[in-house]
């Protein structure tokens, strides 16, 4: 598969044509109406999931209390390092923490109190299309594509470095996927663009090629500032100051270290009232103890230190307790996914976050496989199913992830998005209405007959069962007649069809121009650099 | 892959040699000791799982009570048909049920009372090797291979009809799989043997090539009698009368029908105090209402009617509430697997079985895919993970299932068995011992260092994380250097290696001879028939 070619945002003629078309659509309603119809055709097209079944909470009170006590011990006795960032040390000093060089120690209970005083339990991330805004926290779950891979993989091209064209393709695929509620962030690294400027094209692409909410740049404080400036041009400066319009991934340098890059981005976003996802990034056994309970104590300590910092920077700033926890192969040191110990870490972290009272982020379709084979799917499903039951609110890496996050897979992306849509149905729970109980059907049909033609089935069959666009459920003979394709081959066709069918959502031309002007000005102001 | 050739049980010389070798092993301990070592090398080699985390119970009290009331309505108003079996109608008449032709109706509460008066909450199925006996019910989970496929699929041969050699191969693979606790039943249909005699070779193969517990024949009452007779020769007649040594799958002819074949087998096993798995077999939308709650009411009604019958035949006979519930594609009528609605049915049925107070059976690695691709794995993992959390006690079809049960996959079998071993680790839950808490490691390592060399990691690394024998977690470059194989290719190699390494477990020569004599006598007594 060669993804359909798309105009670069730098190509004014093409972009202007699209923008103009979008504007006509908004006025005339023709294109917008078609788009709305299409979005609903996908099935589970709600803007986010609201679960109606409980979370699964396998840790008991005593286990959780022990882990919480151990996290407080880590914070009080060992402490956390905040590196190369005197301003952050000043913030901690003013808050009453003990500073020893770059090491900061916290009295037991101090961070929990800071967090519970002001961090919101739930917040709205606004999308430029209000119908796409998402609720983060509480009973809600937002499915977000994978983040960060420098490579892409497709059936046609194999594995190669990603480009901005790939990036735009994944924005479009996320936009077209009813199972995904978010445009994500660094869907892949556009390595064809200079490091110090690619964030401008990434953020612009999210805004221009989708109307779902998105993630900002964190690779330098000034790139975070650029992200906020772009958001002001889309949403208005006052709105941005009072509402969350961008969410941003702040990874700890585990164990127990925050570096100046992440701290710089954290402070920019918190000051601007934008959301941060404070995520210990852990390969257990290398970056944390080799046990579930030890890893959880460290995760809680690290997460609390970052979450509390956001609240000191700006009380009430939206923030998410994140975790990315995998284990390593103790033979090779390689990260492993979908295995039972990280699943237990995930369940424990979700319970700890709920007790802390903040939204929770964890991973979706993680895997170590290099290709979208059965290994990839077992591992991805093991992660996604358990994360959904655990009550993850912000499911990052829900689609596309291959090779431990080094590659974004075109076919894997649409396969995972299908799984995400299934999760939405699962979390809806059972329907116990009179229609859901179906007693009339049982009375009408009776022993030994079949239900296919009965009135209840006829009234309900269209929505009764989730329909996968990728699974082949036909007979062996029919499957052979259709070319004996495996799901990767069918997914490759789906990717090509989706990209060919893509139409950009409408955007006000003045908004598009304002963002493009800002991007052009920022690009002109600095020489290209790959640092 | 061509599975390693194995001697036929009919080949006296080869079998006698194996038996003799086995016997020496039992006396001298050499082979048995090597086997014990090998069994432990596999990792999760306990005879069955004892869960230490709770079940996930998404249905609330009101929902369950509604479904239970609806099931009683089905039993009282609509009734269940027991076809072509006057003896069973007499049993119901004597118990006070209302008989109308072949339709039997039950006063509300009647079946629940019969069941709760005598059905055991948990029982032991004895294996001929006592170390392999399994507990069925309570907090336990027994992983059982797939049952019933007429075809096999392997990477080398594609899809073809199964033979008795395939059957023996799957007995051996189950024996060698630490994740599987049971030898299963009809691992595949040996279509090269006459229909009326193949059960003799299947049961003999389970006994001769494995020492794990197994399932008996249900395709005719006399074949059930043969199974019991063989068991008496292995375990002794008195032991069989007082203990469960074989477990047997009794499927309803849903909706709301039991046929004479299944009823005949049910009565043979119950009279002999052997376990039955009473399983409504449902493709929702065709064989039950098109809704979750409607399907559950029907499942509960059908299961209670079968479970109660076993208790009328012999109070206290071991019995399992089974369910096989899938949905159908409302476009094509084809069964679908791993989708959200059957997952909800599974959770609900597990909760209903626990409230009834009997062990629960449901499916493991189900899928509709024709090949062991990502579709197969997503669907299998979705089924297996949720079934494990739901608290399934007897996980039938846990390994090998392809194509909606029409094909047993060699590669799929070992992939699924790997997943079953992971489930065992997941259900163990977290270790909150002092060692599990790992505070010493956190103190020793501190911020910014790594845990690979610390004392706690060194002391725990061997057992810390589940090690998959099939997943490739290496770098892309290493994976390429290793031949860029997908998991199917690695699984094919694993199958060949396992079968090549297989050594039969020891069996007392007099037991083997007694069984072989019975089998030979039964074969000689009747002409071959394919009915």
* Chain A residues within 8 A of B62 when measuring between CB atoms: 432
Residues A269 and A348 in one domain: yes
How many domains is chain A built from?
A: 2
Residues A69 and A125 in one domain: yes
Q: Chain B residue closest to A58 (CA)?
A: B53
pLDDT in tens, B470-501: 999 999 999 999 999 999 999 999 999 999 99
For residues B252 and B279, is the Cβ–Cβ distance under 8 A? Answer: yes
Q: Chain A residue closest to B403 (CA)?
A: A476
Q: Chain A residue closest to B407 (CA)?
A: A476
Q: Could you give the CA distance from residue A231 to residue A242 in angstroms, rounded to a whole number?
A: 13
Q: A81 vs chain B: nearest CA distance in angstroms?
A: 6
Q: A308 vs chain B: nearest CA distance in angstroms?
A: 18
For residues A505 and A9, is the Cβ–Cβ distance under 8 A? Answer: no
CATH number for the domain spanning A270: value is 3.20.20.480
Residues A137 and A66 in one domain: yes
Residues B249 and B381 in one domain: yes
pLDDT the model gives residue A332: 84
Give the DSSP H/E element, type plus range, for residue A302: helix A292-313
DSSP state letters, B378-439: HHHHHHHHHHHHHT-SEEET-SSEEGGGTEEEHHHHHHHHHHHHHHHHHHH----SHHHH-H
Domain boundary, last residue among B428, B451, B467: B428
pLDDT the model gives residue B45: 67
pLDDT in tens, B275-284: 999 999 999 9
Residues B287 and B203 in one domain: yes
pLDDT bin (cut points 50, 70, 90) of residue A462 is: confident
Q: At what angle do helices A221-235 and A198-209 cross, to 10 degrees?
A: 30
Give the burial string for A245-264 (b: 16+ CB within 10 Å, else e). bbbbbbbbbbbbbbbbbbbb
Residues A10 and A58 in one domain: yes
pLDDT the model gives residue B20: 33
B439/A297 touch (CB, cutoff 8 Å), yes or no: yes
B383 shares contact with chain A (CB less than 8 Å): no
- Both tokens of B491, joined, read 């699984």
* Chain A residues within 8 A of B49 when measuring between CB atoms: none
Backbone angles phi, psi at B10, to 5 degrees: -75, -15
pLDDT bin (cut points 50, 70, 90) of residue A463 is: confident
Q: Could you give the CA distance from residue A226 to residue A208 in angstroms, rounded to a whole number?
A: 16
Residues A403 and A391 in one domain: yes
H runs (alpha helix) in A373-409: 374-390
List the single residue in A370, A464, A486 with the smallest CB-CB distance to B290: A464
Of A472, A461, A399, the C-alpha closest to A173 is A399
pLDDT bin (cut points 50, 70, 90) of residue B531 is: confident
Instruction: Establish if B217 belongs to a structural domain.
Output: yes
Q: Chain A residue closest to B423 (CA)?
A: A340
Give the DSSP H/E element, type plus range, for residue B23: helix B12-28
* Chain B residues within 8 A of A445 when measuring between CB atoms: 255
pLDDT of A27 > 80? The answer is no
pLDDT in tens, B232-268: 999 999 999 999 999 999 999 999 999 999 999 999 9
- Average pLDDT on A50-72 reads 98
Give every CB contact of residue A198 below 8 A, 6+ residues apart in sequence. Answer: A164, A189, A190
pLDDT of A41 > 50? The answer is no
The domain in which residue A289 lies consists of 1-428+493-531
pLDDT the model gives residue A14: 32
Of B345, B340, B365, B356, the C-alpha closest to B303 is B356
B377/A378 touch (CB, cutoff 8 Å), yes or no: yes
* Chain B residues within 8 A of A449 when measuring between CB atoms: 255
Q: B274 vs chain A: nearest CA distance in angstroms?
A: 28
B88 three-class SS? helix
- Both tokens of B477, joined, read 């470059």
Domain boundary, last residue among B382, B397, B428: B428
- Average pLDDT on B342-352 reads 98
pLDDT of B30 > 70? The answer is no
For chain A, positions 167-226, list CB contacts with chain B under 8 A. Answer: none
Q: Chain B residue closest to A348 (CA)?
A: B430
Domain boundary, last residue among B395, B428, B461: B428
pLDDT bin (cut points 50, 70, 90) of residue B442 is: very high
* Chain A residues within 8 A of B294 when measuring between CB atoms: 436-439, 441-442, 456
Of B205, B179, B191, the C-alpha closest to B415 is B179
* Chain B residues within 8 A of A51 when measuring between CB atoms: none
Instruction: Establish if B193 belongs to a structural domain.
Output: yes
* Chain B residues within 8 A of A372 when measuring between CB atoms: 374
pLDDT the model gives residue B461: 86
Instruction: Establish if B223 belongs to a structural domain.
Output: yes
- Average pLDDT on A445-458 reads 95
Q: Could you give the CA distance from residue B219 to residue B223 in angstroms, rounded to a whole number?
A: 7
Residues A500 and A487 in one domain: no
B55 shares contact with chain A (CB less than 8 Å): no
pLDDT bin (cut points 50, 70, 90) of residue A45 is: low
pLDDT in tens, A415-445: 999 999 999 999 999 999 999 999 999 999 9
pLDDT of A42 > 60? The answer is no
Residues A357 and A477 in one domain: no
- Average pLDDT on A185-202 reads 98
User: Across all residues in chain B, what is the average pLDDT?
Assistant: 92
pLDDT bin (cut points 50, 70, 90) of residue B26 is: very low
Give the DSSP H/E element, type plus range, for residue A361: strand A360-363
H runs (alpha helix) in B43-197: 61-73, 86-95, 110-118, 164-176
Give the burial string for B17-31 (b: 16+ CB within 10 Å, else e). ebbeebbebeeeeeb
pLDDT the model gives residue B265: 98
For chain B, positions 60-119, list CB contacts with chain A under 8 A. Answer: 62-63, 66-67, 70, 73-74, 77-81, 103
List the single residue in B57, B430, B465 with the smallest CB-CB distance to A330: B465
pLDDT the model gives residue B25: 32
Residues A2 and A127 in one domain: yes
B457/A289 touch (CB, cutoff 8 Å), yes or no: yes
pLDDT bin (cut points 50, 70, 90) of residue B462 is: confident
Q: B172 vs chain A: nearest CA distance in angstroms?
A: 23
pLDDT the model gives residue B40: 39
pLDDT in tens, A87-124: 999 999 999 999 999 999 999 999 999 999 999 999 99
Residues A462 and A322 in one domain: no
In SS3 terms, A224-247 reads as HHHHHHHHHHHHCHHHHHHCECCE
Q: Chain B residue closest to A463 (CA)?
A: B330
pLDDT of B59 > 80? The answer is yes
List the single residue in A372, A386, A389 with the smallest CB-CB distance to B374: A372
pLDDT in tens, B190-231: 999 999 999 999 999 999 999 999 999 999 999 999 999 999
- Average pLDDT on A449-463 reads 93
Q: Percent of chain A at pLDDT above 90?
A: 89
Mutate to test the interface with A, among B65, B294, B480, B489 (most CBs of A within 10 A): B294
User: Across all residues in chain A, what is the average pLDDT?
Assistant: 92
B245 shares contact with chain A (CB less than 8 Å): no
* Angle made by CA atoms A481, A485, A488, in degrees to the nearest 5: 160
Q: Could you give the CA distance from residue B338 to residue A380 in angstroms, rounded to a whole number?
A: 14
B370/A476 touch (CB, cutoff 8 Å), yes or no: yes
Q: A451 vs chain B: nearest CA distance in angstroms?
A: 5
Chains A, B: CB pairs < 8 Å = 401
pLDDT the model gives residue B39: 42
Q: Chain B residue closest to A419 (CA)?
A: B378
Residues A305 and A390 in one domain: yes
Instruction: Establish if B319 belongs to a structural domain.
Output: yes
Q: B99 vs chain A: nearest CA distance in angstroms?
A: 14
H runs (alpha helix) in B121-213: 164-176, 198-209
Q: Could you give the CA distance from residue B460 to residue A295 in angstroms, rounded to a whole number?
A: 14
pLDDT bin (cut points 50, 70, 90) of residue A175 is: very high
Task: Locate the DSSP E strands across B87-197.
Answer: 98-100, 103-105, 122-125, 134-137, 140-143, 151-154, 158-161
pLDDT of B17 > 90? The answer is no
pLDDT bin (cut points 50, 70, 90) of residue A330 is: confident
For residues B249 and B277, is the Cβ–Cβ distance under 8 A? Answer: yes
Q: Could you give the CA distance from residue A128 to residue A507 in angstroms, rounded to a whole number?
A: 9
């Amino acid at each position: 598969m060669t993804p359909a070619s798309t105009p670069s945002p730098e190509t004014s003629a093409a972009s202007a044509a699209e923008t103009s078309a979008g504007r006509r659509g908004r006025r005339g309603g023709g294109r917008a109406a078609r788009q709305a119809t299409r979005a609903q055709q996908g099935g589970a097209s709600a803007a986010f999931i609201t679960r109606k079944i409980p979370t699964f909470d396998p840790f008991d009170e005593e286990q959780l209390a022990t882990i919480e006590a151990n996290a407080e011990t880590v914070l009080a006795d060992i402490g956390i390092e905040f590196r190369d960032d005197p301003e952050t040390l000043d913030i901690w000093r003013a808050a009453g923490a003990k500073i020893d060089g770059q090491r900061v120690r916290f009295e037991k209970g101090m961070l929990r109190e800071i967090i519970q005083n002001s961090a919101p339990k739930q917040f709205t991330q606004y999308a430029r299309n209000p119908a796409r805004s998402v609720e983060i926290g509480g009973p809600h779950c937002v499915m977000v594509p994978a983040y960060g891979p420098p490579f892409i993989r497709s059936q046609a091209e194999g594995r190669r470095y990603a480009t901005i064209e790939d990036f735009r393709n994944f924005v479009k695929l996320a936009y077209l996927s009813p199972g995904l509620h978010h445009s994500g962030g660094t869907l892949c690294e556009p390595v064809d663009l200079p490091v110090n400027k690619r964030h401008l094209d990434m953020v612009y692409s999210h805004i221009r090629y989708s109307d779902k909410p998105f993630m900002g740049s964190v690779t330098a404080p000034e790139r975070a500032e650029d992200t906020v400036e772009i958001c002001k041009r889309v949403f208005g400066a006052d709105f941005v100051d009072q509402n969350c319009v961008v969410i941003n991934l702040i990874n700890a340098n585990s164990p127990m270290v925050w570096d100046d890059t992440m701290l710089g981005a954290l402070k920019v976003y918190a000051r601007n009232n934008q959301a941060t996802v404070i995520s210990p990034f852990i390969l257990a056994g290398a970056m944390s103890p080799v046990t579930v309970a030890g890893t959880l104590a460290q995760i809680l300590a690290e997460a609390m230190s970052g979450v509390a910092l956001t609240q000191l920077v700006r009380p009430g700033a939206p923030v998410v307790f994140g975790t990315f926890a995998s284990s390593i192969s103790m033979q090779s040191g390689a990260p492993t996914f979908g295995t039972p110990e990280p699943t237990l870490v995930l369940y424990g972290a979700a319970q700890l976050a709920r007790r802390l009272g903040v939204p929770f982020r964890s991973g979706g379709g993680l895997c170590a496989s290099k290709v979208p084979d059965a290994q990839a799917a077992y591992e991805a499903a093991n992660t996604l199913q358990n994360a959904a039951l655990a009550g993850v609110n912000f499911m990052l890496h829900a689609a596309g992830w291959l090779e431990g996050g080094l590659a974004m897979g075109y076919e894997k992306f649409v396969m995972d998005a299908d799984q995400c849509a299934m999760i939405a149905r699962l979390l809806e729970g059972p329907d116990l209405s009179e229609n859901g109980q179906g007693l009339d059907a049982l009375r009408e049909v009776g022993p030994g007959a079949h239900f296919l033609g009965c009135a209840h089935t006829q009234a309900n069959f269209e929505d009764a069962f989730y329909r996968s666009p990728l699974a082949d459920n036909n007979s062996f003979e029919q499957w052979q007649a259709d070319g004996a394709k495996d799901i990767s081959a069918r997914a490759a066709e789906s990717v090509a069809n989706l990209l060919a069918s893509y139409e950009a959502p409408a955007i006000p031309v003045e908004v598009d121009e304002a963002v493009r002007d800002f991007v052009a000005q920022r690009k002109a102001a600095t020489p290209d650099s790959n640092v």
